[in-house]
Structure 1
Amino acid sequence: MGILLTILGIILLVAGVLGVLRGQLLWGIIAIVLGLILTPGYFFGL
């Protein structure tokens, strides 16, 4: 289950960054925040 959350979180983070770069700030920020919440802390070393 942790692997799935990590993969989903990374996908959301990448989608959020791409959204911000394309000018869709609201969608990008929401995706980044959701990605950070879903990705377990051990992945980032927190």
Structure 2
Amino acid sequence: MALVLWLIAAVLVISGIVSLVRGQMLWGIVLIVVGLLVGPGGVSIFG
């Protein structure tokens, strides 16, 4: 389960960075924050 959370978090953070580069600041920030919350190192929303 931890591996799945890491993969989801990595995809979200990378998508957020790509959004920031494309100029979509708000969406990029939201994706990065959600990615950090989902990741095992963050405050996991799945317990």
TM class by shorter-chain length?
0.7 to 0.9
Structure 2: stretches of 5+ with no match in the other structure: 42-47
- If each structure's helix is expressed as a fraction of its own residues, which one has the higher value? 1
How many corresponding residue pairs? 41
Q: TM-score, normalised by structure 2?
A: 0.83
Unaligned runs of 5+ in 1: 42-46
TM-score of the two chains, using structure 1 as the length reference: 0.85
Sequence identity (%): 41
4+ runs deviating over 2 angstroms: none
RMSD: 0.5
Larger RCO (alpha carbons 8 Å, 6+ apart): 1
Q: 1:37 aligns to what?
A: 37
